Amino acid sequence: MRYRKHVAVVVVAVAALLLATGCRDSRHIPTANGRPQITIMVGGLEKVIYLPAMLTKQLGNFERNDIDVELLGEQSGANAENALLTGDVQGVVGFYDHTIDLQAKDQCIRSVVQLADVPGEVELVSKQDAPTIGSVADLRGKKLGVTSFGSSTDFLTQALTGQEGMSTADYTRVKAGAGQTFIAGMNHDGIDAGMTTDPTVAQMVNSGEAEILVDMRTEASTRAALGGLYPSSSLYMSCTTVDAHPDIVRKLAAAFVQTLQWIKAHTPEEIAAKMPSQYASAGKDLYIQSIRDSIGMFNGDGLMKTEGALNVLKILGKYSTNVRPVRDHIDLSKTYTTQFVAEALRSTQQ
């Protein structure tokens, strides 16, 4: 009896400690006023490639599906995935390739809504280097900007240069970030070329500060650059969260699918009008142009295409130091699910 009492006291003490320190168990999702409270980190809230996240909030689709969502911004997808792994957030809007890279590290992360089939990324060349860089082969020996090491822009840079027979020893990778830090790096000789997205692309090309070397904002150009589709922007969550809270994941999927369908039915001008005004800080017309140039990347239904997932694995199997040794053991079925999106699509057709 005394032993049982001792165990009971220990259990109560541990529970109290977890409550006091804020439990980060990914299976625990708080509620308020009867609604789940979800925090999603976005790898760059102002980037057009992740536009559906904020647009979903602006359209009221989270609330419409009886769920409260807080969006946090983080310029690096690699940092966003770390926040997910530590339990600081319940979901990430970032590139699908992180789910494969993390499985190689024995972490189970699953895409539950696939927002885009192509990267939406562009390799830009600075105006001073444009005369000597006319192809990917000319990047040998150059300083190439990526968002951060281990980010999707890092994987894609290695994939592009790898097809020209280069390894990371043949050029210098520079952590250039995004937005203003990327622009500063290119304008002050920090990088000769680099990978970024709209609205930075539109801003630098329109101003004459940079030229496009490789454009991966459409299906045709992505297939030409990477040999196939490369599913990118997605909502991914830990497998434990997905398995423990299917009803919440179902609500999130429905909200994003509604937004993707809304995008397909509206013009870039109408989309821009729904977004926060500060996203157009470089000018309203420029922001509309950036949406127009990139909006075709979104697939409209949230479904993963099997050929795209296979191509991502093929590329990471060649160029990711994490995936290469275990590429034959990666189980793609654990990296994404179409279950919740399929249910959302059926409900919209009823």
Q: Domain spanning 29-118+231-349: which superfamily? A: Periplasmic binding protein-like II (3.40.190.10)
Using the Cα atoms of residue 135, residue 136, residue 139 and residue 143 in order, give the sign of their dihedral.
positive
- The DSSP element (H or E) to which 32 belongs, if any, is strand 31-32
What pLDDT, on the 0 to 100 scale, is given for residue 347? 87
Instruction: Please list the ranges in the chain whose pLDDT falls under 50.
Output: 1-23
Q: Which CATH number fits domain 121-216: 3.40.50.920, 2.30.30.90, 3.40.190.10, 3.40.50.1820?
A: 3.40.190.10
Q: Which amino acid is at 314?
A: K
Distinct helix (H) and strand (E) counts, the chain? 15, 11
Residues of the chain with CATH 3.40.190.10: 29-118+231-349, 121-216
Strands 143-146 and 172-175: parallel
Q: Taking the CA atoms of the chain, what radius of gyration do you get in angstroms?
A: 21
What pLDDT, on the 0 to 100 scale, is given for residue 13? 44
| Separation of CA 234 from chain center | 6
What pLDDT, on the 0 to 100 scale, is given for residue 319? 86
Question: In this structure, how many other beta carbons lie within 10 angstroms of the beta carbon of residue 312?
Answer: 29
237-270 burial code (b ≥16 CB/10 A, e <16): bbbebbeebeebbbbbbbbbbbbbbbbeeeebee
What pLDDT, on the 0 to 100 scale, is given for residue 344? 96
pTM of the predicted structure, to 2 decimals? 0.89
SS3 of 228-245: the string is: CCCCCEEEEEEHHHHHHC
Question: Per residue in 60-99, pLDDT tens?
Answer: 999 999 999 999 998 666 778 888 988 999 999 999 999 9
